[in-house]
A and B are shown apart, each in its own frame.
Chain A
Amino acid sequence: MTRARWSLLFVALALAGVAGLTLGPVRIGLGGVLRALAGAGDIQTVGIVRDLRLARVVLAVITGAGLGMSGAALQGTLRNALAEPYLLGVSGGAAVGAVLAVVAGVSAPGALPLAAFAGAAGAVALVLLIARAARGRADPRVLLMAGVVVGAFANAAIMVLLAGAGEGTVRNALWWMMGSVSGADWRTIGWLSVYATAAGVALVAVARDVDLLALGEDAAAGLGVRVADATRRIFLLAALLAAITVAGAGLVGFVGLVVPALARALGARRAREVLLASAVVGAALVVGADVVARTVRAPAELPLGAVTAIVGVPFFLMRLRRTA
């Protein structure tokens, strides 16, 4: 990828960030935002900029970067441009966890993210166990199928859970399943960013294995990769990264699928480059989508996942037409 395109990406991310900080029910100019970030100005503006808008932007950055990287790693490893973290049971498991928490009426702060993360981790463990029982090896196709099956089972479980629930509960659960960064608070962001960074760095560290696995299993083995171990490791890291984003923002669809394709369309080729570009593209996309979600029909908010899908589908169709 050329330096000019990298610069373009960071400019896009910066513009999305500025829009995220200035736009909203209370319009604050760029100068006001900068003063508020520095802690100067009236206390209300400082609160809006720092605790509401900046927190949202940062959570959107974590969510977009995490989903983008997760999708990039999975697509290379599974040799499939349609692979994405949500296909691997992560979304289903997280949703079951969150819906369980909502239905049980748990209201302690931080309980919902924790429940979602636990559900996602449980689903990932289940997928790995199924794949192991089926073939004893980390066959990419078996992993994908196991993910789809666990996802279907999770959907059924959610319907059963919500069938007898009250209207408010269903609404809460549904809203969470459509994704949102409106609940951003600095404590959650703190621990999410630590885990997301760790998983992201670990993925970049195995990027060369992703390059080689993308050639096919035997070719990768001939180039010194322990195929089964490497596949399992990358799968686990990617799934955990996705689970971390789900804990923070619920289900934000299409990002993990579309963002790596965007990164490749911009010229990223080797896995490390695709991973890093996907982090920036994903961050810019989700920050931008959140701005759209909360301004288009203000004061009402659109679900973030719906906005990312509306942006993502046409792009994906365009790509499909070009490759077909």
Chain B
Amino acid sequence: MIRVSQAVVRYPGASINALDGATFEALPGRLTAVVGPNGSGKSTAVRALIGQVALTGGSMRVGDTDVATADRRQLARTMSVVTQREEPAFPLSVRDYVMLGRYPHHGAWSALGPADAAAAEGAMQRTGALPLGDRRTDALSGGEWQRVRLARALAQGGEVLILDEPGTFLDMAHEMAAFELLDELAREGRTILLVSHQLNLVARFAAHIVVLHHGRVVAAGAPNDVMRGDVLEPVYEWPLVIARDPAVGAPFLVPLRRR
């Protein structure tokens, strides 16, 4: 479980808060999505969770652990993160790369063993990355690389999974497959927190949507409560209508042309 309470982040030299008293939670067993326009504080929230920016106020907890004072390596055993951008400076084999997800479970001198290899193997199996095992990370397509990254995060083995824009670079089929996998992982009891711009996909898969705007939560709830013109129009400052997804009846956002 992730619980963010009154979180405030102000970057050095900035005149406004990147996060401005945001409060929301992501519960186990469901997919929670954080949406909002560019600069609304979504990625700042993720960076605060991984300790890359310090909170100037409020708190963030993962399970019983306060993120501000956590032993980062221990936290990385329960919380895996797929960040927006990531690229090995020097290419590795996919298998070696996925094994990096096991590092938080080891000290400097303890060797990675068969249990780690099995965890990596299982994670690659789940994301469909197993056939890529012997390829090099610099020889993958965008979609393959995203699947391999997800495998690395799964190999970490935590109950909490955070993803920042996981659908970027994926074609329609791979994107759907990724969301279906996340849905499945959530149903198994994991806490999944997803930062995304794909409102329509999020509306179909997420159980809980948090809308951030200027660092504040302006709406939170089930897709039907949040995917509304009167909620989203002022946030995105763009005219839109909400229709129904013909297949499953989920709310479906259509941005209108202004001319």
Q: Which residues of A contact B (CB under 8 A)?
A: 75-76, 79-81, 136, 205-208, 211-212, 214-219, 221-227, 264, 269-270
Contacts A205-B109, A223-B101; A269 near B93 (Cβ below 8 A):
yes
Give CA–CA (A222, B96) in the complex, Å: 17
Q: Which residues of B contact A (CB under 8 A)?
A: 12, 47, 50-52, 72-77, 79-90, 92-93, 96, 100-101, 103-104, 106, 108-109, 156, 162
Q: Are A222 and B81 in contact (CB under 8 A)?
A: yes
Q: Are A270 and B103 in contact (CB under 8 A)?
A: no
Give CA–CA (A260, B183) in the complex, Å: 43
Contacts A222-B76, A224-B76; A269 near B108 (Cβ below 8 A):
no
Contacts A226-B72, A269-B96, A270-B96; A76 near B104 (Cβ below 8 A):
no
Q: Are B100 and A211 in contact (CB under 8 A)?
A: yes
Chain B positions within 8 Å of A216 at CB level? 83, 85-87
Q: Are A223 and B156 in contact (CB under 8 A)?
A: yes
How many Å from the CB of A309 to the closest CB on chain B? 23
Could you pull out 20 A-B pairs where Cβ atoms are within 8 angstroms?
Answer: A75-B89, A81-B90, A212-B103, A214-B90, A215-B88, A216-B83, A218-B47, A218-B50, A218-B83, A218-B84, A218-B85, A222-B50, A222-B82, A222-B162, A224-B73, A224-B74, A224-B103, A264-B90, A269-B92, A269-B96
Chain B positions within 8 Å of A136 at CB level? 12
Chain B positions within 8 Å of A208 at CB level? 103, 106, 108
How many Å from the CB of B95 to the closest CB on chain A? 10
Closest chain A residue, CB of each to CB of B104: A224
How many Å from the CB of A261 to the closest CB on chain B? 10
Closest chain A residue, CB of each to CB of B71: A224
How many Å from the CB of A90 to the closest CB on chain B? 21
Chain A positions within 8 Å of B108 at CB level? 205-208
Q: Are A223 and B100 in contact (CB under 8 A)?
A: yes
Q: Are A224 and B83 in contact (CB under 8 A)?
A: no
How many Å from the CB of A78 to the closest CB on chain B? 8
Query: Which residue in B12, B74, B80, B88 is a CB contact (below 8 Å) of A222?
Result: B80
How many Å from the CB of B60 to the closest CB on chain A? 14
Q: Are A218 and B52 in contact (CB under 8 A)?
A: yes
Give CA–CA (A226, B50) in the complex, Å: 9
Give CA–CA (A270, B90) in the complex, Å: 9
Q: Are A221 and B50 in contact (CB under 8 A)?
A: yes
Known A211-B103, A221-B72; 12 more pairs at CB < 8 Å: A211-B100, A215-B86, A217-B52, A221-B51, A222-B50, A222-B76, A222-B82, A223-B103, A223-B156, A224-B72, A226-B72, A227-B51
Max chain B C-beta neighbours (<10 A), residue from A205, A215, A224, A225: A224
Chain A positions within 8 Å of B100 at CB level? 211-212, 215, 223
Q: Are A76 and B72 in contact (CB under 8 A)?
A: no
Chain B positions within 8 Å of A206 at CB level? 108
Give CA–CA (A136, B92) in the complex, Å: 32
